[in-house]
Amino acid sequence: MQLRKATMTDFETVMEMLRDGRSSQLAERGVEQWQGDYPNEEHIKEDIQHGWTYLVQADDNQTVGVFAIVDAPDHSYDELDGKWLLDTDKYQVIHRVAIHSKHAGHGYASQLFENVISYVKTNRKDIQSLRIDTHEDNKVMQHLIDKNGFTRVGTLHGVYRSAEESYVYEMITQPRMDDN
């Protein structure tokens, strides 16, 4: 599996992956996540323009998924009901993870997390933590996040949609100087 930075020529592919995630995976499981106007085309264009969107490609170069890794500050977390493991502005946030339904169940999401975590720990020494959130009813993503070593640190209330709650997680990626 490979991760490739998306360009604007990949815009429709990214949108298709997210539409599939919205309808074929979340809605069918009764999860309200992404059922409103988030994420929308403007979010995705901004992600691509900032260099935050990546395509997940199988070994045969077929695109099987997408995600964004967004630089701090992420104002979605300004009203966190909880406490960060590390109070830092040197973090990145994993957002908008989607593996296309026809490729689900093949371990691509797990590989995506493993690759991102490994890359950040090895090549981004300036990044002290990774953060991620997911809808309170998205048990599949919660399991994936837990399985990959993130710690639940709090809850967001109404950030993406007014009545929606999201669970927030963090992983420290670099040892703190006081840990030595």
- Whether the ω angle into residue 39 lies within 30 degrees of 0, i.e. cis, is yes
Backbone angles phi, psi at 101, to 5 degrees: -60, -30
| pLDDT tens profile 136-160 | 888 888 999 999 999 999 999 877 6
* Residue 34 pLDDT: 52
* Residue 27 pLDDT: 44
What's the mean pLDDT in 159-173? 86
* Residue 180 pLDDT: 45
40 versus 12: which is more confidently predicted? 12
The tally of domains found in the chain comes to 1
- The CATH number of whichever domain residue 20 belongs to comes to 3.40.630.30
86 versus 19: which is more confidently predicted? 86
172 pLDDT higher than 60: yes
* Residue 136 pLDDT: 87
Domain coverage including residue 44: 2-179
Cα–Cα distance measured from residue 95 to residue 107, given in angstroms and rounded to the nearest whole number: 18
108 pLDDT higher than 90: no
| pLDDT tens profile 19-70 | 876 665 654 565 555 555 656 778 889 999 999 999 989 888 889 888 999 9
Contacts 24+ apart (CB under 8 A), 173-178: 173/117, 173/120, 173/121, 173/124, 173/127, 173/128, 173/129, 173/130, 174/121, 174/125, 174/127, 174/128, 176/86, 176/128
